[in-house]
């Protein structure tokens, strides 16, 4: 009887230990998922409800990206229906930000982008927001603009442009800073205050080069 009791007690202790370990493992995994969602959104997660994915095919390019003039035909359509191409911004410091209205880090980046446009716009900076949230997200952009009081222009990119810029990583927001000659200066993936600070430093440095 004593042996049976010891075996039973040992088994119960083992089960309790395994249960505790499993609970800790689940908690750790949940924390990791929460941490990874703080600074960026993965477009693939939204594809479960979006009408189409962000990318239409396999990646076709790698960085460094060619200058804007090499891709001058690529562009986007603004909310009001006007079309623009990369070539239209040669001579300006261009900041292209890929976002979706459902992406919380994208929303958190908007105030900083607004401030950058307002402060550096007179010196040649142009911020352009491009929506890659899928067709279902397009109808939400007008309310998105009003909600966040966005003053810089927003548009919907050509699929070829999206494929080129987000070929190796579909995380959003993604922000690209292009120099006055069309060269890619810096690419930023995700958003937090430190990234906003770095974007501004890059802008300041480029604007200082005449």
Per-residue pLDDT averaged across 93-119, rounded? 97
**172 conformational bin, left if phi > 0, alpha if psi -120 to 50, beta if neither:** beta
pLDDT digits over 161-183, tens only? 999 899 888 899 999 999 998 88
State how far the Cα of 207 lies from the Cα of 91, in Å rounded to an integer: 11
pLDDT tens sequence across 16-49 = 444 454 544 444 444 444 444 456 786 543 433 3
- Residue 153 above 80 pLDDT? yes
> How far apart (Å, rounded) are the C-alpha atoms in residues 53 and 45?
10
Inter-residue contact 157 to 84 (CB < 8 Å): no
Whether the model clears a pTM of 0.75, i.e. scores above it, the answer is no
Tell the CATH topology of 43-207. Glutaredoxin (3.40.30)
CB-based burial, 129-160: b 16+ in 10 Å, e otherwise? bbbbbbeebeeebeebbeeeebebbbbbbbee
pLDDT for 50 beyond 70: no
- Residue 200 is predicted with a pLDDT of 97
**What are the extents of the domains in the chain?**
2-36, 43-207
Q: Pull the structure tokens for residue 192.
A: 């937090």
Closest C-alpha among 113, 93, 110 to residue 101: 110
Residue 78: predicted pLDDT:
94
Q: Give the model's pLDDT for residue 43.
A: 55
Residue 53 has pLDDT above 70, yes or no: no
Residues of the chain with pLDDT > 90: what percent? 53
């Amino acid at each position: 009887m004593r042996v049976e009791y010891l075996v039973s007690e040992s088994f119960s202790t083992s089960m309790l230990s395994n249960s505790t370990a499993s609970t800790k493992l689940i908690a750790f995994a949940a924390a990791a998922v929460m941490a990874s969602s703080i600074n960026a959104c993965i477009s693939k997660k939204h594809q479960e409800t979006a009408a189409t994915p962000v990318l239409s095919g396999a990646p076709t390019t790698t960085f460094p990206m060619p200058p804007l003039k090499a891709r001058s035909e690529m562009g986007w359509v603004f909310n009001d229906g006007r079309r623009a191409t990369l070539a239209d911004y040669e001579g300006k410091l261009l900041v292209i930000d890929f976002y979706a209205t459902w992406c919380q880090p994208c929303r958190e980046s908007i105030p900083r982008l607004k401030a950058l446009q307002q402060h550096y716009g007179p010196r040649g900076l142009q911020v352009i927001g491009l929506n890659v949230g899928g067709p279902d997200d397009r109808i939400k952009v007008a309310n998105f603009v009003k909600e966040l009081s966005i003053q810089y222009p927003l548009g919907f990119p050509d699929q070829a442009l999206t494929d080129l810029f987000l070929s190796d990583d579909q995380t959003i927001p993604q922000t690209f800073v292009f120099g006055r000659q069309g060269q890619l200066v810096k690419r930023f993936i995700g958003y937090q205050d430190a990234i906003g600070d770095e974007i501004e430093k890059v802008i300041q440095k480029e604007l200082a080069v005449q």
